[in-house]
Amino acid sequence: MDYDIYKIQHDLLKKLNEKRFYHSLGVQGISFALALHYGYDANKANLAGLLHDVAKCLSDEQLLIECETYHLDISEVERKNPFLLHGKLGSYYAKHVYGIDDEAILSAITFHTTGKPDMSILEKIIFIADYIEPNRSTKQIPGLDEVRKLAFIDLDKTVLLTLENTLKYLEESNKEIDTLTVDTYQYYKNLLL
Ligand code: DGI
Ligand code: FE
Ligand code: FE
């Protein structure tokens, strides 16, 4: 695997707004660290972390149009909440714009928002890194410091805690919840019983 990270970063500077760009660098760094910590390929995690939100700065309309153009499946929930598609479309970009054919990376990007039951190590790393990267603020996320500590102790427990927080937030703000988010939560809850 030999990608020019610097070149991809430079390209993301054009595709993303400033806040999203720094967020992506934050996720890149913490994904790299988590991978080193858990004995996973750190370069893969680095690349997946950097690219996870590559399709985040598209409008709802653009997300729907592009997903239709590239024949990516759009569920009912996604049609009503198109931002949920940025993982799926991001994965498509990773493959077709950046030439990444590593399925582990592509899948980690696809599922980074909802998670999925029985995630691979890389999927868990990206899912968690997105939540705990250094630019996230303690004001935004309750118990962020604890989640950050836990991430370096137990990935499964951290996935569960992240999902608990996310589902609570979604319920409180009356947002529509994707079945995959609930399924992932149930899976990790049962696993850790
Ligand atoms: O793209 P980011 O903001 O870095 O992070 P993300 O891709 O994890 O998206 C975070 C948002 O996604 C957060 O506000 C919670 C929301 N989310 C996660 N699962 C669901 C969801 N939103 C809805 N409506 N439904 C879900 O199932
Ligand atoms: Fe995202
Ligand atoms: Fe993100």
Ligand 1 nearest atom to the CA of residue 176, by list position:
24
Mean pLDDT of 116-137: 98
Q: How far is the CA of 11 from the centre of ligand 1 (A)?
A: 24
Q: Please, what sign has the CA dihedral across residues 13, 51, 28, 166?
A: positive
Report residue 121's pLDDT band, with 50, 70 and 90 as the boundaries. very high
| Alpha carbon 189 to chain centroid, angstroms | 20
Task: For residue 32, give Cα distances in angstroms to 36, 95, 134, 136.
Answer: 6, 20, 13, 17
CA within 13 Å, CB half, 175: 16
Cα 79 to Cα 63: distance, rounded to the nearest angstrom? 10
What is the pLDDT at residue 1?
Answer: 67
Q: How far is the CA of 84 from the centre of ligand 1 (A)?
A: 7
For residue 24, give the ligand nearest its CA. Answer: 3
Cα 138 to Cα 122: distance, rounded to the nearest angstrom? 25
Most ligand 1 atoms within 8 A of CB, residue of 79, 170, 180 to mutate: 170
- For ligand 1, atom 7, the nearest C-alpha belongs to 113
Cα 187 to Cα 64: distance, rounded to the nearest angstrom? 29
Q: Provide residues with CB under 6 Å of ligand 1.
A: 23, 53, 56, 81, 112-114, 130, 166, 170, 175-178, 181
- The model's pLDDT over 141-187, given as tens digits with 9 standing for 90+, comes to 989 999 999 999 999 999 999 999 999 999 999 999 999 999 999 99
- For ligand 1, atom 15, the nearest C-alpha belongs to 166
pLDDT surpassing 80 at residue 2? no
Ordered domains of the chain (ranges, CATH): 5-192 (1.10.3210.10)
Cα 70 to Cα 68: distance, rounded to the nearest angstrom? 5
- Are the C-beta atoms of 192 and 159 separated by less than 8 Å? no
For residue 114, give the ligand nearest its CA. Answer: 1
Mean pLDDT of 108-130: 99
Mean pLDDT of 88-100: 98
3-state secondary structure string across the chain: CCCCHHHHHHHHHHHCCHHHHHHHHHHHHHHHHHHHHHCCCHHHHHHHHHHCCCCCCCCHHHHHHHHHHCCCCCCHHHHHCHHHHHHHHHHHHHHHCCCCCCHHHHHHHHCCCCCCCCCCHHHHHHHHHHHHCCCCCCCCCCCHHHHHHHHCCCHHHHHHHHHHHHHHHHHHCCCCCCHHHHHHHHHHHHHCC
